[in-house]
Amino acid sequence: MAKYEIRGGTPLTGTVTISGAKNAAVAILPAALLVKGVCRVENVPDIADVRILLDILADMGAVVTRQDDGVVLLDCTNITNLNPNPELVRKMRASYYLMGALLSRFGKAEVALPGGCSFASRPIDQHIKGFRMLGAKVRETEDYVYLETGAGGLQGNRIVLDVVSVGATVNIILAASLLPGQTIIENAAKEPHIVDLANFLNTMGAKISGAGTDTVKIKGVAELHGGSYAIIPDQIEAGTYIAAAAATRGNVLVKNVIPKHMDCITSKLQEMGATITNYDDAIRVQCNERLVSTKVKTRPYPGFPTDMQAQICVCMATAEGVSQLTESVYETRFFGYCSELENMGAKIEINGKTAMVTGKETLKGTTVHARDLRAGAALIIAGLIASGTTYVENIHYVERGYEHIIEKLQALGADIRRIEE
Ligand code: EPU
């Protein structure tokens, strides 16, 4: 087991370059299953979730070539095994996108239920509802989902989602792309990675419009062809470094970002006293003084992302005054890290969906345990602020989604290292 050792107290300074977006990559790579031909995908982050997905696809017969420069070549023309390896599927969340992709291309799928970060109950009823509305016959067991073409065949339909779900929106886009007729998703998620997936598929010949709004239209096409596509920068990775720079009272230029995607995060840090300067594809964050308290409520995009809840909570934990943090996407997400932050001296009172965070002058280093990806990132930021030494355990969660995090933080002056035990 490995862990991170962090000696806190150094403001982050310098430049960090953001990698390709995890949650776009994990949708786009399975989307290559729809394509006959070679997909050249640039800006693919080298993180555990991507490695697992590529292993799953290779095991299914895809020809996968990973280059050093973040480029992946994927040829899914000749898929020979329609049963994704269940052990690999259970190692991550986004493997559920194999369901939509296989259904669209082959009219059937047998996929184990996914694993991944379990900070809340994460139902997939909206994905299943979508598949059924497209004509699939669905059978669910305790650990598997079986999809096949129903008696009336598969075809486009209008699907109104009960909740705004990234996963269901992606899965329905995948499932509908090769079906006859038009599919309309109402109450669709609007996250940047939904737009990225649609742009990828359109580059390969799909006919998807409206991505980024709450109505997405997919006109099914008979076949998709190969092509080249670059994944967008990771909004949450960028937000994590921006929060870390502000919390350590640093001065960091965060490169390779789309500033518009960051507004929901940077506007909050600005309110807390950080100076934010937007450039075309970079953001500078500077902070010379203690942050001040604020009020944040997580919401689907373009609201403040739930995936930044834990990182902003650390900023609040040492800000002056009492902050209010409300979670509206995953109610139980506080339990992944708040008790760990309390062990470091933070004062957090959770009442249902809301945490009241009383800012302390500083935090103190101790051993803490990551229980999910973003919780782990937040504990690293806490360690960077804290006095003394912090050990972050369970770092496999962090390595699921942050490319070269240790090297990037070291380059910003952080005293952090990975220890193998
Ligand atoms: N929901 C349902 N039924 C469904 C699907 C979702 O009730 O069938 C509910 C969920 O319980 C939740 C809400 O809808 O309350 C939103 O869930 P969503 O489906 O949007 O989440 P997801 O697709 O499972 C993705 C990201 C998560 C991120 C959420 C919310 C990927 C692979 N994962 O999850 O990212 O927290 O959207 O933005 O895209 C992370 O990167 O650390 C991460 C957990």
Rounded CA-CA distance 74/298 in Å is: 35
Hunting for tokens 């259970």 — which residue is that? 90
Hunting for tokens 């952080």 — which residue is that? 414
Task: Evaluate: CB of 307 within 6 angstroms of ligand 1.
Answer: yes
pLDDT in tens, 298-326: 999 999 999 999 999 999 999 999 999 99
Å from CA of 236 to ligand 1 middle: 14
Relative orientation angle of helices 235-247 and 309-317, to the nearest 10 degrees = 0
- Which pLDDT score, from 0 to 100, does residue 225 have? 98
Q: CA nearest 164: which of 332, 39, 299?
A: 299
- Which pLDDT score, from 0 to 100, does residue 119 have? 67
Which residues lie across from 326 on neighbouring strands? 297, 354
- Which pLDDT score, from 0 to 100, does residue 68 have? 87
Name the closest-CA residue to atom 37, ligand 1. Answer: 166
Name the closest-CA residue to atom 11, ligand 1. Answer: 122
Å from CA of 165 to ligand 1 middle: 6
Query: What is residue 232's DSSP assignment?
Result: P
Name the closest-CA residue to atom 29, ligand 1. Answer: 166
pLDDT in tens, 66-87: 998 999 999 999 999 999 999 9
pLDDT in tens, 339-359: 999 999 999 999 999 999 999
Rounded CA-CA distance 241/133 in Å is: 41
- Which pLDDT score, from 0 to 100, does residue 115 have? 80
- Which pLDDT score, from 0 to 100, does residue 1 have? 86
H helices, E strands: number in the chain: 14, 23
pTM: 0.97
Rounded CA-CA distance 327/408 in Å is: 29
What is the atom index within ligand 1 of the atom nearest the CA of 330?
A: 15
Q: How confident is the model at residue 421 (pLDDT cuts 50, 70, 90)?
A: confident
Q: Mean pLDDT across the chain, nearest whole number?
A: 96
CB atoms within 10 A of CB 73: 16
Residue pair 382/360 in contact (Cβ under 8 Å)? The answer is: no
Task: Evaluate: CB of 168 within 6 angstroms of ligand 1.
Answer: yes
State the number of CA atoms in the 13 A half-sphere of 365 facing the CB. 19
Task: Evaluate: CB of 353 within 6 angstroms of ligand 1.
Answer: no
Rounded CA-CA distance 409/52 in Å is: 25
Rounded CA-CA distance 24/97 in Å is: 12
Judge whether 117 counts as a catalytic residue.
yes
* Arithmetic mean of pLDDT, 231-245: 98
pLDDT in tens, 274-296: 999 999 999 999 999 999 999 99
Q: CA nearest 298: which of 374, 195, 242?
A: 374
Q: CA nearest 385: which of 3, 2, 1, 7?
A: 7
Residue pair 33/106 in contact (Cβ under 8 Å)? The answer is: no
Percent of residues, the chain, with pLDDT higher than 90: 95
User: Is pLDDT of 195 > 80?
Assistant: yes
State the number of CA atoms in the 13 A half-sphere of 378 facing the CB. 32
pLDDT in tens, 358-396: 999 999 999 999 999 999 999 999 999 999 999 999 999
State the number of CA atoms in the 13 A half-sphere of 269 facing the CB. 34
Residue pair 231/24 in contact (Cβ under 8 Å)? The answer is: yes
Task: Evaluate: CB of 163 within 6 angstroms of ligand 1.
Answer: yes
pLDDT in tens, 20-56: 999 999 999 999 999 999 999 999 999 999 999 999 9
Cis check: omega of the bond before 302, within 30 degrees of 0:
yes
Residue pair 367/6 in contact (Cβ under 8 Å)? The answer is: no
Å from CA of 189 to ligand 1 middle: 10
Ligand 1 site-directed mutation target among 22, 23, 174, most atoms within 8 Å of CB: 23
Task: Evaluate: CB of 122 within 6 angstroms of ligand 1.
Answer: yes
Instruction: Find all residues with CB under 8 Å of 260, minimum gap 6, and list them.
Output: none
pLDDT in tens, 102-136: 999 999 999 999 887 666 778 999 999 999 999 99
Task: Evaluate: CB of 23 within 6 angstroms of ligand 1.
Answer: yes
Q: How confident is the model at residue 234 (pLDDT cuts 50, 70, 90)?
A: very high
Ligand 1 site-directed mutation target among 163, 237, 331, most atoms within 8 Å of CB: 163
User: Token pair of 154, please?
Assistant: 């598969």
- Which pLDDT score, from 0 to 100, does residue 47 have? 96
b or e along 237-274 (b: 16 or more beta carbons within 10 Å of the residue's beta carbon)? Answer: bbbbbbbbbbbbbbbbbbbbbbbebbebbbebbeebbb
